[in-house]
Amino acid sequence: MRPLWLTASTMTNALGRGRAATLAALEARRTGLAPCDFLDVDLDTWVGRVAGLEDLPVIDALDDYDCRNNRLAQLALRQDGFEAAVAAARSRYGADRVAVIMGTSTSGILHTELAFRERDPETGALPAPLHYRETHELSSVAEFTRRYLGLTGPTLSISTACSSSAKVFASAWRLIETGLCDAAVVGGVDSLCLTTLYGFASLELVAPGPCRPADAERDGISIGEAAGFALLERPDARSERGLNPPVEGERPTTALLGYGESVDAHHMSTPHPEGLGARLAMQAALERAGLAPSAIDYINLHGTASRTNDSAEDKAVSQLFGHSVPCSSTKGWTGHTLGAAGITEALIASLCIEHGLIPGSLNTETVDPDFTSAIQRDNRHQPVHYVLSNSFGFGGNNASLVFGRIAAADEVSA
């Protein structure tokens, strides 16, 4: 497939605000997880909470959208010069030619959860105005992002649980390829809420301590919150419009080379035990990228630290890549950010390519002896040209993405 440049990107999560904060934490092997101190939640677990959101309301012009999820989106949009990069794209192509595609699993559901605590004791009425459409409804974060950035192109939300913000890359490629837009802002935002914390606890899926992906004694996930965005463009989009190409220093480092999607059709919340759907997604991503499995330098695993998910993914990776391609999960740093996991780990993949970093799984002490993939426990530094990033959601919604260094990507597409 024709590559897409990641012209600009930004992310905010429990490791801090902006790409540099995440890179510094990865290099220092410093987790963003801490014992749960979110609201009055009474659970013995650790979470990846973004500090300070309570004091950062959205701008006055969009105050109907004010909720934790949109505050997190706004905080991320203000990092790494992302607003300026989108403004430049808007000038190049026109506001109606830049799409917004967002992934989320629960959107601003916390806003409604808290409203239920304030119901009228006599009538049961919820406080008014609730602004459900602007806060809780799944498209609210996409509409907030579109309006905040002053765009009028195609706008949509994708909610396929934990693969949501990986699938946004596939949808962006299709929109651009069919000529419905020239560029796309893709991203994902998911914030902490009572539904996910108590819901995953009721499924006995949350760990009492920080998660330990691929560990022999792994005992569940650590839930986190995050927001991330990327601006995608075709390399030749500017020349087709008679515009100058990026000058030295503006040329991005990373490109999206391939994507793969599949569904398990196996179980509501458990992956196919042999990782069949996961393998199909990874295989499709490699085929679109025109790469053999041996070309991949690093695999960022979905790696939630649940016993069944990690086991199924290990089987799928081993079947397709053998036993020597380095792989790890970064959820020990950020927690499982659910609908924002895909974009968070896609942008970690781009950091790995830019800085020649292969992060070892944090908190993993003893790799499960039944695993046969090349799980990395310690950080490594080496040239990284191609990275595959996995995101697998409830219901067997799978998405895999291949990213590459642009010089290497040019060779593939030639």
Residues annotated as catalytic (active site), given as ranges: 162, 302, 336
Angstrom distance (rounded) from CA 149 to CA 77: 9
Q: Which residue is associated with the tokens 């030639």? A: 414
Angstrom distance (rounded) from CA 414 to CA 405: 14
Neighbours of 235 (CB within 10 A): 20
Nearest by Cα to 335 from 8, 38, 54: 38
Q: How far is CA 264 from CA 267, 281, 306, in A?
A: 8, 10, 18
Contact status, residue 374 vs residue 325, Cβ threshold 8 Å: yes
Structure tokens at 7: 């012209």
State the DSSP code for 47.
E
Angstrom distance (rounded) from CA 229 to CA 7: 11
Task: Provide the 3-class DSSP secondary structure of residue 14.
Answer: coil
Structure tokens at 97: 């030619």
| Phi, psi torsion values for 125, nearest 5 degrees | -70, 145
Neighbours of 43 (CB within 10 A): 16
Q: Length of the chain in residues, anyone?
A: 414
Angstrom distance (rounded) from CA 35 to CA 48: 9
Contacts of 29 (CB under 8 A, 6+ apart): 360, 362, 379
Burial of 382-395, coded b for 16+ CB within 10 Å and e otherwise, reads eebbbbbbbbbbbb
Please, what's the largest Cα pairwise distance for the chain? 70
Burial of 350-360, coded b for 16+ CB within 10 Å and e otherwise, reads bbbbeeebbbb
Angstrom distance (rounded) from CA 390 to CA 397: 11
Angstrom distance (rounded) from CA 152 to CA 94: 9
Structure tokens at 178: 């069919």
Angstrom distance (rounded) from CA 175 to CA 184: 8
